[in-house]
Amino acid sequence: MISVPGGGGQRGVVRVVAWLLFAALVPAGLSVWLHPHRPTWTREGEVKLATVAGWSDVLWVDARSAAAYAQEHIPGALKLSPGTWEADVEAVVAAWAPGRHVVVYCDGYGCQASREVARRLRAELGFDAVYVLAGGWDAWRDSR
């Protein structure tokens, strides 16, 4: 059994472990916050809107519902969702060119439609520069 100076039994061990964790997390948190090369906190295949703003040739693909697309979408975006793939994929293929960045978006961070469309564009059509917009439509709308 582990002996803690000053006694305290099991409660003392828990207290010591809690202090050790706290002592380790404080410098780790500071290094993430202050480090000049801190992580961007995006998932693989995601791109932030600020990065896309620096690209000259972007094909926007809207993976939201037809109603959401009809109400409002990024200017020039083409509609392509998992549910309408067969009907809408030809327009995306016609607009795509080798080397052109494709950025797919849907409603926000919780939406998986953009990930599915991006995966299919890569796997089924061989598009290489396909990204998912971090934050989706919410990020675009909030930036305006």
Residue type, 108: G
- List beta partners, residue 104: 61, 132
Cα(47)–Cα(42) distance, integer angstroms? 7
**Mean pLDDT, the chain, as a whole number?**
85
Query: The whole model's pTM is what?
Result: 0.70
Domain containing 2 equals 1-39
75 contacts 24 by C-beta, under 8 angstroms: no
Quick one: 104 and 54 in the same domain?
yes
Quick one: 60 and 20 in the same domain?
no
Quick one: 78 and 18 in the same domain?
no
Q: Among residues 20, 16, 22, 19, which one has the least CA distance to residue 2?
A: 16
Q: For 73-127, what is each residue's pLDDT tens digit? A: 999 999 999 999 999 999 999 999 998 999 999 998 788 999 999 999 999 999 9
Cα(80)–Cα(87) distance, integer angstroms? 8
